[in-house]
Amino acid sequence: METSAPVAAPFAAETIGLTKRYPLTWKRKVLVALDHLDLQIHPGEVFGLLGPNGSGKSTTLKLLLGLIVPTAGEARIFGLPTDSLEARRRVGFLPENPYFYGFLNGDETLRFYGKLCGVTGPKLEQRIEELIELVGLQNGRERPLRSYSKGMLQRIGLAQALIHDPDLLFLDEPTAGVDPLGSAQIRDLIIRLKKMGKTVIFSSHLLEQVQEVADRVAIFSLGKKVLEGSLESLLIERQSTQINVPADLSEEQQQRLREALGQAGIDSQDIRFTRPHLSLEQLYLRTVQAQGDPGPRNSPRT
Amino acid sequence: MISSLNRIIVIGRNTLTEAVRQKVLNVLLIFSLVLVGSSVTVSQLATPGLDSAGLFDAQIKFVKDFGCGAIGLFGFFIALLSTAQLIPQELHNRTIYTILAKPVRRSEFLLGKFFGIVLLVALCVALMSLAFAAALYWQELQGLQATEAIYSQNPNWHTDPVLANAYNHDVQQIILQTRDPQLIEAILLIFAKLIMTTAIALLISTFATSSIFTIITTFMIYLIGHLESTAREFWLAGGANASIWQSGLVGFISLLIPDMNSFTIVDEILAGNKVPWSHALNLMGYADVYIVVLLAVSIVIFNYREI
């Protein structure tokens, strides 16, 4: 008689020795797009894929979606083969620089993708209302997508990725070409999705944003994963401590602090007083929002 | 199974919507103008006083030839050009990723696209057939008017039984020609041939890297499909000293490429000859078998294609 061992909850996404090579027949060479990738992403995690162009991030996403077939290794989504319909039902995808059917308007686009996922009738219409609200595309509902700005296309792309309420989201450069305010909104949306218990795997070149939302990151280079870990473990400098005080310290105050820290056994030569910097993004957002700008204007592409 | 069919229908309808919104159907406006224009021109060439039946016989024959020819030609271009750009455009715009990342099989995507073009071609053929029917009806009215004008030159044409009979006979002849139910058979055969062309173009486009390649290759296959029966007759039936490899090649080609020439039976219908429905249905069955095989091969190739 067979006895079944207790099964651990599957990873949201898992790759084992995942490899993709493209033979360049004419040059008699082989392009290694991804080389033996081992990755384990837990449910509910926000995972950032970083790396220069052509480092294998998009290839990883396409392999995880079952859009391309690996040369070696395997990939699984919630323990399911990536090319199975069951796996795809649990996955939403926003491609890089998304381009949808320009002849459809916002509502029609979501209706089309919803029906493909088996969402129909009043449930679909309700879902469309929710998503239009979520991504802030009220003014794009009746407009054909060919008149959308890049930011609007990214947002309709996010909405279509979410139409069937997937558990895992793949976002390929979700903030590429979007203005800082729109980009901040997408970041906030990722945070909301995380709170809803979704797993998000995304690639981005905006390192600061990745830092703000990702639990863990992997850095790719030339088709290989060269670094992986939680931001906490990767970014904290354990050899130093920063103290923030809400005042501009005078020379005298600084000297007294040095003395106090010296008494605590810290060499006063190593103590530095600096003023914290705002990031340019923080400055931009503060300034624009102070002007009462409610968000992206959804202006057509010029 | 039902959800699979639903997805095919959703993709098919989207393909049709795209074609309609990109104004493919405007081509049909040109078709209608050409058809009506030619019909009017031909009837203006009519010289009063000629034997009515003979004259209108030629005119109606012209409109029928022209109408069916134009339906076949315009339909061919619509089917070929729409199918050839289906997959390259999806790949170029990367919309294919957004669809295949959903719970959609590649076979469903391909069948949905095919279904969309079948709907488009059916819509085009139906609309062109309506314009064709209108042109024929106009010819009928012209014919009846002219016949009456010729007979009314004789004041006794109503009372003279011989003249009245001749008049009725001529009227019957005109109506028989313009309302020939065999024309439906002809249009269905043209439609079957168009769908076969669509399936060929779809198959080519599953491995082609550009629309131009698909268009040219499909066009070549279409031509070979028209010529192969002649070659077969010459090399095989005629026994014209064909070597084994020549016979083998012709046999292989005729197995691989559908015999388009058999659809020229439409010309027989237009010439007024009776073509039994059983023959037309046989031909449509032949087209269906080819279409199913072509689609099956397309799906296999497309499943392995790197996108």
pLDDT, tens digit, 9 for 90 and up, residues B157-188: 778 888 888 888 888 888 888 888 899 999 99
Mean pLDDT of A120-141: 92
Does residue A115 belong to the interface with chain B, where contact is any CB pair within 8 Å? yes
The Cα A109–Cα B122 span in angstroms is 25
Give the three-state DSSP class for A14. strand
> CB A103 to CB B98 under 8 A?
no
pLDDT confidence of residue A73: 95
Contacts of A22 in chain B (CB under 8 A): 306
Highest average pLDDT, of A123-132, A171-180, B172-181, comes from A123-132
Confidence of residue B55 (pLDDT cuts 50, 70, 90): low
Residues paired with residue A224 on neighbouring β-strands, in sequence order: A221
Contacts of A115 in chain B (CB under 8 A): 6-7, 10
Report yes or no for ipTM above 0.90: no
Task: Select the more confidently predicted residue: B36 or A201.
Answer: A201
pLDDT confidence of residue B48: 45
- The shortest CB-CB distance from A100 to any of B21, B98, B103 is to B98
Nearest CA in chain A to B305: A68
What is the least distance, in Å, from the CA of B24 to any CA of chain A? Answer: 13
With b meaning 16 or more CB within 10 Å and e meaning fewer, what string describes B130-155?
ebbeebbebbbebbbebbeebbeeee
- How far the first Cα of chain A sits from its last, in Å, is 69
The Cα A254–Cα B205 span in angstroms is 74
pLDDT above 70 coverage of chain B, percent: 93
Read off the pLDDT of residues B241-267 as tens digits, 9 standing for 90 and up: 667 777 777 777 777 888 888 888 888
- Does residue B233 register a pLDDT over 80? no
Mean pLDDT of A56-81: 93
pLDDT confidence of residue A247: 81
DSSP assignment, residue A33? Answer: E
User: Judging by DSSP bridges, how do beta strands A168-172 and A29-41 pair with one another?
Assistant: unpaired
- Does residue A123 register a pLDDT over 70? yes
CB pairs under 8 A between A and B: 69
Does residue A95 belong to the interface with chain B, where contact is any CB pair within 8 Å? yes
- Does residue A216 register a pLDDT over 90? yes
> CB A95 to CB B307 under 8 A?
no
Interface test with B, best of A93, A101, A153 (most B CBs within 10 A): A101
pLDDT confidence of residue B238: 56
pLDDT confidence of residue A302: 34
Confidence of residue A292 (pLDDT cuts 50, 70, 90): low
- Does residue A109 register a pLDDT over 50? yes
Surface-to-core class of residue A71, CB atoms within 10 Å of its CB (0-12 exposed, 13-18 middle, 19+ buried): middle
pLDDT confidence of residue B240: 56
pLDDT confidence of residue A178: 82
- Does residue A1 register a pLDDT over 90? no
Residue A234 one-letter amino acid: L
- Does residue B290 register a pLDDT over 90? yes
Does residue B153 belong to the interface with chain A, where contact is any CB pair within 8 Å? no
- Does residue B27 register a pLDDT over 80? no
Confidence of residue B56 (pLDDT cuts 50, 70, 90): low
> CB B6 to CB A115 under 8 A?
yes
Read off the pLDDT of residues B119-141 as tens digits, 9 standing for 90 and up: 999 999 999 999 899 888 988 88
- The shortest CB-CB distance from A103 to any of B11, B22, B306 is to B22
Does residue A80 belong to the interface with chain B, where contact is any CB pair within 8 Å? no
The Cα B183–Cα B133 span in angstroms is 10
Task: Considering only CA atoms, give the Rg of chain A.
Answer: 23
User: Judging by DSSP bridges, how do beta strands A91-94 and A168-172 pair with one another?
Assistant: parallel
| Kind plus residue range of the DSSP H or E element containing B97 | helix B95-100
